[in-house]
Amino acid sequence: MKLNKIVYAVSALFLGFMIFLTIFARTIHNNKLQHVETIEIKKQDFICEFTDKQGELCHSKRRAIGIPKKYANENVFIINEIEVYGEKRKCALKVELFYFDDYLSEEYAAVSYGLSVGDSLIVNAGDITDGSEVIEAQ
């Protein structure tokens, strides 16, 4: 009889532990993910230098996708949404950027290829690898 009580007690503890993990699984998972800060990619104003037919240096104002120069030379990651088991998750995606050399700005680097307006650029990449799951810091 005493053995039955022990079995019931252990079973109840196990069941309670499983229910606890089921309820808090998402919270536990999110706390283990790397929290990153992001900025939204926008179009910026640039001064473009070019030489006209007469050989004179001309300037014109152009709008292009720009990222802050302090992030232009590092590994650049954006947030990419993927679906895993029917659930949308955010992953870091490493992108290779190509820049316009003749677009001038003190603060921004003009991107010709690799980003779109509205992408979320990860600004504190740390030790993120391509494809690792991340969560945006609030």
Same domain flag for 73 and 110? yes
Same domain flag for 22 and 45? no
Same domain flag for 53 and 21? no
pLDDT band at 13 (very low <50, low <70, confident <90, very high): very high
Q: DSSP state, 133? A: B
Question: Which residues constitute the domain of residue 56?
Answer: 34-136
78-134 pLDDT, tens digit each: 898 888 888 888 998 888 877 777 776 778 888 877 788 888 888 876 788 888 889
Same domain flag for 4 and 70? no
Same domain flag for 102 and 79? yes
| Sequence-ordered strand ranges (E) for 37-107 | 38-40, 42-51, 57-68, 76-84, 87-95, 98-99, 103-104
Same domain flag for 67 and 125? yes
Same domain flag for 28 and 42? no
